[in-house]
Amino acid sequence: MATFSNLVAALKNINAISELMLEKAQQELWEQLAALEKERLVQIELVFPLNQSIIEDDEEIKILLSDINAVNSKITSICETQKHALLEQIKSFNKNKKATQAYGAGLNR
């Protein structure tokens, strides 16, 4: 980052993208979430790693980083919940598939 104000602007942009990602996760719009994640990653790579003294000395940056982290935790939680629900659906599908195959094998005898 060239200047302090550019750093703050970049962190605000990362936070805004993170908020959009949270909305997409809440709406279960996974493809849009993934696209935003790629966009956010580009921004993150431009900013990080941060100089520790900047983080310690500036309250606005501390707040922005805390906000980004909090939103990211919410996104992660939603995605983990969805992941577990999807795994349960797959297990159920596989059980039904096996039952159907067994029933079909019984009819062919």
Average pLDDT in the chain: 87
Q: Grade residue 104 by pLDDT with cuts at 50, 70 and 90.
A: low
Q: Grade residue 9 by pLDDT with cuts at 50, 70 and 90.
A: very high
User: For residues 35 and 101, which has the higher predicted lDDT (pLDDT)?
Assistant: 35
> For 40-46, what is the mean pLDDT?
95
Q: Rounded to two decimals, what is the model's pTM?
A: 0.78
| DSSP single-letter state for residue 108 | T
Q: Are 62 and 53 in contact (CB under 8 A)?
A: no
Q: What percent of the chain has pLDDT over 90?
A: 58
Q: Does the pLDDT of residue 1 top 50, yes or no?
A: no
The rounded distance, in Å, linking the Cα atoms of 85 and 103 is 27
The four Cα atoms 59, 64, 70, 73 give a dihedral, to 10 degrees, of -130
Provide the pLDDT for residue 87: 82
